[in-house]
């Protein structure tokens, strides 16, 4: 079954959706959309360093994405506005990454595949990395779910409950770095933030509890991956962007439904 490239692609898309959905819910609740985008942009620098040092691209992307997220977390509130800091670091990391790639002589690299994804080229080894990363993210979020919800609701309530909001922020940072690394192959650096935000935003009008939102977001993300791949195959369009388009149409549909019920 795994010899079929479409089957591997669908499994990869569902794996990324499972990782992105619960994390994306927290990104939406905490209004961290630009934070996720900045972390994704930093992954290009990680890819360049991985190729230069001949180490795992997954490891390099995780390391640099985590370094970017930690830098933002540590510098926030120290005289730097969050949006300014994210803008500077995100675009600087992307630019340095693209420049670094141009210096890699003797290495063939399909830059467009890293920017917009190449889900149809997913191998069995890639599937193992994607599902392993997804399991790690889901396990990490599930383990800290109650604490994360409390610190998201109110830092004061979190402190009163004996929860350190800074620590929970670091948990989200680690989960975000892993998600970015596993999603690169599927939707690419420039579309990772879309897969984090859009399914979660589409699930919000349909949900009554945080748990429902995370579950419905996972279902929407998975369905978007499957339907988007089918549409890309039928219409001969890019796979990664097609997946995001289906997710965006789902968001439009749930938003219209919510307004009609209001």
CA distance 60 to 114: 13
Q: Mean per-residue pLDDT for 90-99?
A: 81
pLDDT of res. 246? 94
Can you give the pTM of this predicted structure? 0.85
Of residues 95 and 72, the one with the higher pLDDT is 95
Of residues 205 and 189, the one with the higher pLDDT is 205
pLDDT of res. 131? 92
Q: Mean per-residue pLDDT for 63-89?
A: 74
pLDDT of res. 174? 84
pLDDT of res. 65? 77
CA distance 31 to 197: 10
- pLDDT tens for each residue of 132-146: 989 999 999 989 999
pLDDT of res. 253? 94
Superfamily of domain 5-189: ABC transporter involved in vitamin B12 uptake, BtuC (1.10.3470.10)
């Amino acid at each position: 079954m795994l010899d079929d490239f479409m089957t591997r692609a669908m499994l990869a898309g569902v794996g990324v959706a499972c990782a992105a959905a619960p994390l994306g819910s927290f990104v939406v609740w905490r209004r961290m959309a630009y934070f996720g985008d900045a972390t994704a942009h930093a992954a290009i620098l990680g890819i360049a360093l991985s190729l230069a040092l001949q180490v795992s691209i997954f490891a390099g992307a995780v390391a640099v994405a985590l370094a970017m997220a930690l830098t933002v977390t540590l510098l926030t509130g120290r005289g730097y506005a969050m949006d300014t800091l994210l803008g500077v670091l995100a675009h600087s990391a992307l630019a340095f990454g693209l420049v670094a790639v141009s210096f890699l002589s003797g290495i063939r690299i399909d830059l467009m595949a890293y920017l917009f994804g190449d889900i149809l080229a997913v191998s069995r080894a890639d599937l193992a990395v994607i599902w392993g990363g997804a399991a790690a993210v889901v396990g990490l979020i599930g383990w800290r779910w109650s604490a994360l919800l409390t610190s998201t609701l109110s830092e004061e309530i979190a402190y009163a409950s004996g929860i350190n909001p800074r620590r929970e922020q670091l948990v989200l940072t680690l989960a975000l770095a892993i998600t970015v690394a596993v999603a690169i192959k599927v939707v690419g650096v420039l579309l990772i933030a879309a897969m984090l935000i859009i399914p979660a935003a589409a699930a919000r009008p349909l949900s009554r509890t945080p748990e429902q939102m995370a579950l419905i977001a996972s279902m929407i993300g998975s369905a978007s991956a499957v339907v988007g791949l089918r549409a890309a195959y039928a219409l001969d369009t890019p796979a990664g962007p097609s997946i995001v388009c289906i997710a965006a149409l789902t968001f439009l549909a749930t938003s219209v439904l919510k307004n009609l019920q209001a």
